[in-house]
C-alpha cells in the first residue's frame, strides 16, 4: 500500500510540472516516512545509494557526448552536412525532405539528441524547404520526425542510462541502435516519397560528381567525427567513454583551430552549458537508483511481472503490452525520466518472459521517441515551434501522419529481434 502511495505521489507531481528529481525525491521521502517514521528516514542509506548510482565509468560518456553535439551544433558544421546530404539525395522528388532525413542520420552520429537535432539542424532544414516553396506544415513535420533518429544512432545518452540501469553492455547497446536508426530513416523516406508524389513536389536536377565531390570535401572533416566514434566502438579500439573523449577533443580542435568558428570565450560558455545539462542527467540518475532500490525491495517488478504473465505468457504479447505502456508514459514524461523510472520495473518482466534486455532497450527507446512528437509534453514539438514559428495545433496535426512509419519500425523491431541484435552479436563473436 505504501509503494502504491509513493507511485501515485510521483505521478501527480510530474503531471503538475514538478521537476523529475524533486518528484522522485519527495515521493521517496514519503515512502520512508510512512514505513519508518518521519524521524527515522535513513538519510545515510539514501546518500550511499545515490552516490553508488553514479559510480559507473560509462557515465563519463554522458558529458562527452553532450559536448560533441553542442560543439558541432554551434560551429556551423550543420550547414556543411546539410549541403552534402543535398548533393546526395536532393534530386529525388520532394528532395529537400529526403535531405532532411539524411542530414539527421549524419548529425545523429554527433548530437545523440532529438531536441538538439530539431533546434540546430532543424532551423537550416526548415529555412531551405520554405525557400524552395514547401509548405510550412510539411517542412516542420519532416524535421520533427527525422530528429527522432538522433538518440537511436550512437552516440546516445538515453542508451547509456538504460545500459547502466539494465546491466547491459554499453558498447553492445550503442552498436545495436545503428540498424534500427537506419531502418527508421528509410521508413521516413518511403513515406516522404509517397507524399511527394501525391502532392507533386518538385524534382531538382541531379548533382554532378563535381558538386558531390566539393560538398563532400567541405563535410569531410566533420564526417570523421561520427565515423571515428562509431568505428572506434565497433572495432573495439575504444570503449564508449574513450570514444567520447577522443571525438570531443577532435570536435573542439576542428571548431576552434581549423574552422575558427568558436572562440575560447564561446567554448567556455559551451562547457558551462554541458556541465549544466550533465548535472541534470546525473542528479536524476542518482535519485533513480534510490527509487530502483525501493521498487526492488518491495518486489514491485515481480508483482507486475506476475500480473502481466497471468494475462499472457507470449513474449510478443508481453512486449506489445509494454510498448502501449511506454507510449502512454512518453506522452507525459521525457525519455530520460521514463527510462530511469521504468527500466528497473520492466527489464525483469522482459527476462521472465524469455526476452533479451539488449533488444528491449532499443524497442523501449523507439517507443519513447514517439512521446517526443506527441502532446502535451513532446519536447521536439516545442523545439520546432521555436525555430519555425508554427502554432502548436498545426504542428501536431502535421506530425501525426509521420507517426505511422515510426510505429511500423517499432513493430518490425519487436517481430524481428535480429534487426537489433545482429550487429552486436556479429561484433562480439569477432
Question: Alpha-carbon torsion 192, 197, 202, 204, what sign?
Answer: positive
Question: Do the Cβ atoms of 349 and 308 come closer than 8 Å?
Answer: yes
Q: Which residue's C-alpha cell is 505468457? A: 313
As given in the structure block, the three cell numbers for residue 118 are 530539431
As given in the structure block, the three cell numbers for residue 296 are 526492488
Cα of 309 vs its chain's centroid, Å: 29
Query: Residue 119: which of 229, 337, 273, 332 has the closest Cα?
Result: 273
pLDDT, residue 55, reads 78
Could you write out the DSSP letters of every residue in 285-339? HHHHHHHHHHHHHTTHHHHHHHHHHHH---HHHHHHHHHHHHHHHHTTS-HHHHH
Rounded Cα distance, 78 and 89, in Å:
17
Tell me the chain's radius of gyration from C-alpha atoms: 22
Rounded Cα distance, 374 and 372, in Å:
6
Our separate counts of H helices and E strands in the chain read 23, 0
Task: At 316, give phi and psi (nearest 5°).
Answer: -65, -40
Question: Do the Cβ atoms of 195 and 134 come closer than 8 Å?
Answer: no
pTM over 0.95: no
pLDDT, residue 111, reads 67
pLDDT, residue 376, reads 67
For residue 147, the number of C-alpha atoms closer than 13 Å in the C-beta half-sphere is 32
Question: Alpha-carbon torsion 287, 292, 297, 299, what sign?
Answer: positive
Cβ-based neighbours of 143, under 8 Å, separated by 6 or more: 100, 118, 122, 125, 126, 384, 388
Cβ-based neighbours of 429, under 8 Å, separated by 6 or more: none
pLDDT in tens, the chain (430 residues): 788 888 888 878 877 778 777 888 888 888 888 888 888 888 888 888 888 777 777 778 888 888 887 888 788 787 888 889 889 888 888 888 999 999 888 877 776 678 777 877 788 888 888 888 888 999 999 999 999 998 898 888 889 889 988 889 888 998 999 999 999 999 999 999 999 988 888 777 788 888 889 999 988 988 888 888 778 877 778 787 888 888 889 989 999 999 898 999 999 999 998 888 888 878 877 887 788 788 778 877 777 777 777 888 788 888 998 898 888 888 777 788 788 888 888 898 888 888 899 999 999 999 999 988 887 667 888 888 888 888 888 999 999 999 999 999 999 999 999 999 999 988 766 5
Q: Which long-range contacts (C-beta less than 8 Å, at least 24 apart) are formed by 373-378?
A: 373/144, 373/145, 373/148, 373/399, 373/402, 373/403, 373/406, 374/330, 374/331, 374/403, 375/331, 376/331, 376/332, 377/331, 377/332, 377/333, 377/334, 378/331
Q: Which residue's C-alpha cell is 512518453? A: 330
Q: Which helix (H) or strand (E) holds 418?
A: helix 418-429
Amino acid at each position: 500500500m505504501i509503494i502504491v502511495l509513493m507511485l501515485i505521489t510521483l505521478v501527480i507531481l510530474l503531471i503538475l510540472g514538478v521537476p523529475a528529481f524533486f518528484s522522485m525525491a519527495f515521493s521517496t521521502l514519503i515512502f520512508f516516512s510512512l514505513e519508518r517514521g518521519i524521524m527515522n528516514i535513513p538519510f545515510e542509506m539514501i546518500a550511499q545509494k545515490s552516490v553508488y548510482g553514479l559510480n559507473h565509468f560509462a557515465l563519463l560518456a554522458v558529458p562527452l557526448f553532450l559536448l560533441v553535439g553542442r560543439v558541432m551544433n554551434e560551429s556551423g558544421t550543420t550547414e556543411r552536412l546539410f549541403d552534402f546530404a543535398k548533393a546526395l539525395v536532393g534530386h529525388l522528388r520532394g528532395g529537400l525532405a529526403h535531405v532532411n532525413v539524411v542530414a539527421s542520420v549524419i548529425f545523429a552520429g554527433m548530437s545523440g539528441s532529438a531536441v538538439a537535432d530539431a533546434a540546430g539542424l532543424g532551423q537550416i532544414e526548415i529555412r531551405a524547404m520554405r525557400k524552395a516553396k514547401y509548405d510550412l506544415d510539411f517542412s516542420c513535420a519532416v524535421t520533427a520526425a527525422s530528429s527522432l533518429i538522433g538518440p537511436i544512432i550512437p552516440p546516445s545518452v538515453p542508451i547509456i542510462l538504460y545500459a547502466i540501469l539494465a546491466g547491459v553492455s554499453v558498447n553492445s547497446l550503442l552498436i545495436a541502435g545503428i540498424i534500427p536508426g537506419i531502418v527508421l530513416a528509410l521508413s521516413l523516406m518511403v513515406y516522404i516519397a509517397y507524399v511527394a508524389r501525391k502532392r507533386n513536389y518538385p524534382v531538382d536536377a541531379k548533382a554532378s560528381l563535381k558538386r558531390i565531390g566539393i560538398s563532400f570535401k567541405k563535410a569531410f572533416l566533420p564526417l570523421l567525427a561520427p565515423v571515428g566514434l562509431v568505428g572506434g566502438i565497433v572495432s573495439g579500439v575504444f570503449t564508449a567513454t574513450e570514444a567520447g573523449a577522443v571525438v570531443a577533443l577532435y570536435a573542439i580542435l576542428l571548431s576552434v583551430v581549423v574552422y575558427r568558428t568558436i572562440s575560447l570565450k564561446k567554448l567556455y560558455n559551451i562547457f558551462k552549458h554541458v556541465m549544466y545539462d550533465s548535472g541534470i542527467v546525473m542528479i536524476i540518475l542518482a535519485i533513480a537508483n534510490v527509487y530502483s532500490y525501493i521498487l526492488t525491495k518491495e518486489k514491485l517488478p515481480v508483482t507486475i511481472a506476475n500480473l502481466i504473465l497471468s494475462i499472457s505468457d507470449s513474449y510478443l504479447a508481453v512486449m506489445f503490452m509494454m510498448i502501449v505502456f511506454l507510449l502512454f508514459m512518453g506522452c507525459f514524461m521525457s525519455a530520460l525520466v521514463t527510462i530511469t523510472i521504468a527500466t528497473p520495473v520492466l527489464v525483469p518482466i522482459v527476462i521472465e518472459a524469455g526476452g533479451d534486455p539488449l533488444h528491449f532497450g532499443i524497442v523501449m527507446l523507439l517507443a519513447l521517441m514517439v512521446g517526443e512528437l506527441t502532446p502535451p509534453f513532446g519536447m521536439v514539438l516545442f523545439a520546432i515551434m521555436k525555430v519555425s514559428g508554427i502554432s502548436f495545433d498545426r504542428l501536431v496535426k502535421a506530425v501525426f501522419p509521420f507517426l505511422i512509419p515510426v510505429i511500423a519500425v517499432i513493430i518490425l523491431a519487436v517481430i524481428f529481434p535480429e534487426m537489433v541484435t545482429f550487429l552486436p552479436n556479429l561484433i562480439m563473436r569477432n
